[in-house]
Structure 1
Amino acid sequence: MSDPQHNQNEVPEETFISHLVELRNRIIRAGIAVIVVFVGLVYWAPDIFRLLARPLMMNLPKDGKMIVTDVTGSFFVPMKVTMLVAFVIALPIVLYQIWAFVAPGLYQHEKKLVMPLVSSSYLLFLCGMAFAYFVVFPTIFRVMAHYNAPLGAEMTTDIDNYLSFVLTMFLAFGVTFEVPIVVVLLVRMNVLTVQKLKQIRPYVVVGAFIVSAVVTPPDVFSQLILAVPLVVLYEAGIIAARLFVSKPAVEAEKESEGNAAQ
């Protein structure tokens, strides 16, 4: 006869292993998607880097150039940029693999919320990157060139340092544009109310300027470029929370969860 206690111990272990196997498969599929896009773009890696460097090149002095201080920098930096572009392009597939892994453990109302949430987060992150590329970079580089002119200093930068700078800016503005999503989630999860969000508005404004002072170059204009959108997006989040997260809807959701538990 088989030992019932032994069988009960095996079931959680088998379930855990099956989850690990599924997680591995999802990670492999997501990685393959990124690699496939990367292979399709690698031929144009120098062009992709030139496109990324365009905001700086347009504000360099006449005949100004970027420099390479590392022997392998001229090869690996365009490859890094291309890999990051491939990841951004393949991100919907990566997010779908994450969704497919966690979906079985979610309630029905949570499943309905996740897809719009993920889609809007992806679009807002892209908007943040676009804002950094088309608005922030030209403005910052123009200001920096203006500061360098009276000093008689030549404005040049290493391509690896430039990549680090633009990645920091992309991340900062991409996350900044997620603020409305965070605000809506906080209200929907009953962590904060719309009224409380309005009350803490002065602290958010101060925090926005502190964050911008840390992330952006040390001049007032560059700091305003990040701080002002952050405050505006916070206000947009409050409006979205008021429109899309109504009190009756939250109460109905709680009631349905209580009935399901019974």
Structure 2
Amino acid sequence: MAKTRKDPNEMSFLDHLEELRWHLIRSTLAIVIVAAVAFVMKDLIFGIIFGPKSLDFPTYKFFCNIATYFNIDSEFCGDELPFTIQSRLMAGQFSAHIWTSIWSGFIIAFPYVLWEIWRFISPGLHENERKYSRGFILTASALFFLGVLFGYYVVAPLSINFLGTYQVSDVVNNEIDLGSYIGTVRASVIACGIMFELPIIIFFLTKVGLVTPEILKKYRKIALVIVLILSAIITPPDVASQIVVAVPVLILYQISIYISKLVLKRQAKKEKQHAQ
């Protein structure tokens, strides 16, 4: 196992690489263990993944109720989505089972992976910096899982409903490949989970001096365009879906500006105390 941690100031470059190697090993081991549990719990995991395939899914019911209230015909109302999921490869289902378990392991073990990352970088921080960053793991994990839920309950069902029902002609039936369906759900969930880490990313970029509130305000319009482009990539090509995804990201961007201000304010206060 890993050796006792040395003083970071006395560690060589190779020592740091060795330390990083053990953190990566433990993180990978945690993901593999959780993935093994997810592999055994096949019915639960795939029941969750295939949830947006049914029109009984909460998101569809929500939009259907709104449409019904305003007397509008909606594709969210009905018995089932007009497409089937199929596997056309001999090892298709087994391969999907393995990779889905691995990605499930990563999502569930994400807080532990963050903890290992934090254990690696925290010795290089000052005591005050560690004090102000104590909530890093909890906050980053909460944002990630919030993004995962947003991706699963908003982005994934909107994408599946639009793409699964879209037809260029009545003579073409939608028979979706298993890997394609799972990939859509996975991309929606992981992408949103990462996007919701924006405040944490801005926090550290501000700490190292790469970002300031002024820069964030100056490029707010450019950020808006980038967010809309990302929304167009991970959602169906309709304005309503893009707005649904873009709004929370823009809110996170505004929160990031506030966080950047707070970081600089604390740094200025600390420098003032040192000057006295």
What pairs with 1:210-249 in structure 2 (closer than 5 Å)? 210-242=229-261, 244-245=262-263, 247=265, 249=266
What residue is the counterpart of 1:41 in the other structure?
38
CA 1:224–1:14: 2 relative to 1, 3 Å? closer
Instruction: Note the 1:109-120 alignment, pairs <5 A.
Output: 109-120=128-139
Q: Structure 1 residues 82 and 180 mapped into 2: Cα distance closer, same or farther (>3 Å)?
A: same
Instruction: State the distance in 2 between where 1:13 and 1:107 align.
Output: 16
Q: What TM-score, normalized by structure 1, do the two folds share?
A: 0.77
1:121-136 residue pairs with structure 2 within 5 A?
Answer: 121-136=140-155
Structure 1 counterpart of 2:196, one-letter code:
F
For residues 149-193 of structure 1, the C-alpha deviation after alignment (integer angstroms, 9 at most, x for no partner) is 974543331111122222222232122212233344444555444
Measured after TM superposition, the shift of residue 204 of structure 1 is: 1.9
Q: Which runs of 5+ in 2 are unaligned?
A: 1-8, 56-75
Aligned length: 246
Alpha-carbon offset, residue 217 of structure 1: 3.1
Q: Given residue 27 of structure 1, which amino acid in structure 2 is its aligned partner?
A: L
Corresponding residue for 2:20? 23
When residues 102 and 70 of structure 1 are mapped into structure 2, their CA distance, relative to the original with a 3 A threshold, is: same
Distance apart, 1:246 and its partner CA:
5.8
1:101 and 1:192 map into 2 onto residues whose CA distance is: 23
User: TM-score, normalised to structure 2's length?
Assistant: 0.74
The answer as to whether partners of 1:45 and 1:81 remain within 8 angstroms in 2 is: no
Q: Which moved more, 1:69-78 or 1:154-163?
A: 154-163
The residue that corresponds to 1:5 in the other structure is none
SS of the equivalent of 1:217 reads coil
Partners of 1:117 and 1:201 in 2: how far apart? 25
In 2, the alpha carbon distance for the partners of 1:119 and 1:214 equals: 29
Larger CA Rg, structure 1 vs 2: 1
Report % sequence identity: 29
Aligned to 2:61: none
Q: 1:82 to 1:231 in 2, by over 3 A?
A: same
Higher helix proportion? 1
**Is 1:250 aligned to residue 244 of structure 2?**
no
Residue in structure 2 matched with residue 76 of structure 1 by the alignment: 95
RMSD over aligned CA atoms reads: 3.2
1:201 maps to 220
Q: Give the letter aligned to residue 200 of structure 2.
A: I
Q: How has the CA–CA distance of structure 1 residues 256 and 62 changed in structure 2, closer, same or farther, with 3 Å as cutoff?
A: closer
1:144 paired residue among 147, 153, 163? 163
Cα 1:256/1:84, change in 2 over 3 Å: farther
Separation in 2 of the partners of 1:62 and 1:31? Answer: 38
Q: Paired residue for 2:47?
A: 50
For residues 171 and 243 of structure 2, the distance between their equivalents in structure 1, rounded to whole angstroms, comes to 27
Structure-2 separation of matches of 1:195 and 1:65: 50
Match in the other structure for 1:181 = 200
Separation in 2, partners of 1:181, 1:13: 29
Letter of the structure 1 residue corresponding to residue 48 of structure 2: L
